[in-house]
Amino acid sequence: MELVTRRRLVGAALLSGGALGAAALGLQLLREKAPPVAGLRVLSAAQHRTMALVALTHIPPGGPFGWSAADVDVAGLFDQFLADQPASDQRDAGVALDLVDLGPLMFERRWTTFTALTPDQRLAHWQAWSVAPQATRREIWQSLARFTGMAVYDQPGAWPHIGYRGPSLARRTGPEQGP
């Protein structure tokens, strides 16, 4: 998966202007240190935290059913997925997650990061990425949203809430012959 092209990422970074870029760099140094996560193969702890919060924003607890991204280690699965992808994809994914975290500063000129927002602010900010004027932001949104949706709803815990009765062969033949 070539998450976003390098050219577009550079373009997006430039979009916000040199001064903001420098501010972003400063903020990156300032932002609260993410607690270490054992066993990460590609993502940094900060990127892992961003991905976990993206997933939680995309599929939060509450609403019509309790099952949510909090029940699945989406960020861990993303790290695992990336570990078997080419190095260029790994780098792009990391840059994309950093861009999401710095999104409030770079695209809304707010002196804060995505991970520091409240859940409601995060939802509003994340939603804005899906319709952002910059194609790169929409591309990143598509990639991360798709991965999250696949990871959360592929789990048996989600199925009773969405009317899916589970892999049909297992239902027909009994669990011993099923997957």
Tell me whether residue 4 or residue 95 sits nearer to other proteins (CB atom). 4
Q: Is 35 strand, coil or helix?
A: coil
Q: Which of 35, 64, 174, 175 binds other proteins (CB under 8 A)?
A: 64
User: How far is the C-alpha of 148 from the C-alpha of 45, rounded, in Å?
Assistant: 18
User: How far is the C-alpha of 179 from the C-alpha of 168, rounded, in Å?
Assistant: 10
Residue span 33-52 as binding mask against other proteins, x where in contact by CB under 8 A, dash where not: --------------------
- HSE of 158 in the Cβ direction (CA atoms, 13 Å)? 17
The position carrying tokens 């899916």 is 164
Sign of the C-alpha dihedral computed for residues 95, 96, 100 and 104 taken in this order? positive
Tell me whether residue 48 or residue 58 sits nearer to other proteins (CB atom). 58
Write the DSSP symbol of residue 43: S
Q: Which of 84, 108, 109, 111 binds other proteins (CB under 8 A)?
A: 84
Tell me whether residue 26 or residue 86 sits nearer to other proteins (CB atom). 86
User: How far is the C-alpha of 117 from the C-alpha of 131, rounded, in Å?
Assistant: 20
Please tell me whether residue 111 binds other proteins under the rule CB under 8 A: no
The secondary structure of 102-114 as a DSSP string is: THHHHHH--SS-G
Q: Which stretch binds other proteins (CB under 8 A): 13-21, 31-39, 97-105, 125-133?
A: 125-133
Please tell me whether residue 60 binds other proteins under the rule CB under 8 A: yes
Q: Which residues are near other proteins by CB under 8 A?
A: 1-2, 4-6, 57-60, 62-65, 68, 77, 81, 84, 86, 88, 123, 126-127, 130-131, 135, 138-139, 141-143, 145-147, 149-154, 158-159, 161-165, 167-170, 172-173, 177-179
